Amino acid sequence: MLDVGKKAPYFELEDQNGNLLSLNDLLGTRFILYFYPKDMTSGCTSQACGFKELYPQFREKGVRVIGVSRDSVSSHKKFEEKYGLPFTLLSDPSLEVIKLYDVLGIKNMYGKKVEGVIRTTYLIDEKGIIIKALSNVKAKSNPEEMLEYI
């Protein structure tokens, strides 16, 4: 996980609509960049739907929400449509950005150690500086925890 106070690493990824979004596009606004393992799984769906429910409150506070996983653009589109997600989902199948943000690691899955995305949430300010960083977050409570912090 990256440290609070550090500049967020530059990224440029495709969203669920095939449009490119970069860090530079987000400068000037605060945003949540949350990394999750996989579309359509129970924990990831719980987290995404939590952000969906609180999305109007995040927007009132001037904060965008952006999810990132290794899933494809088409998988993200299906995820967005199935659950009516009002925010951006970025596709990182090469793991380039996932590695830049230090969220790839060994985790225990059904008693086996596997490499995967560690559920991590960053809050990044208008200048691209990380102002909050949480690793191994609980999917269900993460959106509310972030809203309370903001």
Beta strands in the chain (DSSP E): 12-15, 20-22, 30-35, 63-69, 88-91, 104-109, 112-117, 120-124, 130-135
* Residue 44: active-site member: yes
Q: What is the mean pLDDT of residues 102-109?
A: 84
Give me the catalytic one of 26, 33, 44, 85. Answer: 44
Lowest mean pLDDT among 23-37, 40-54, 96-110: 96-110
Q: Is the predicted pLDDT of residue 110 greater than 80, yes or no? A: no
Give the chain's domains with CATH numbers.
Answer: 12-149 (3.40.30.10)
pLDDT digits (tens, 9 = 90+) for 44-57: 999 999 999 999 99
pLDDT digits (tens, 9 = 90+) for 6-22: 999 999 999 999 999 99
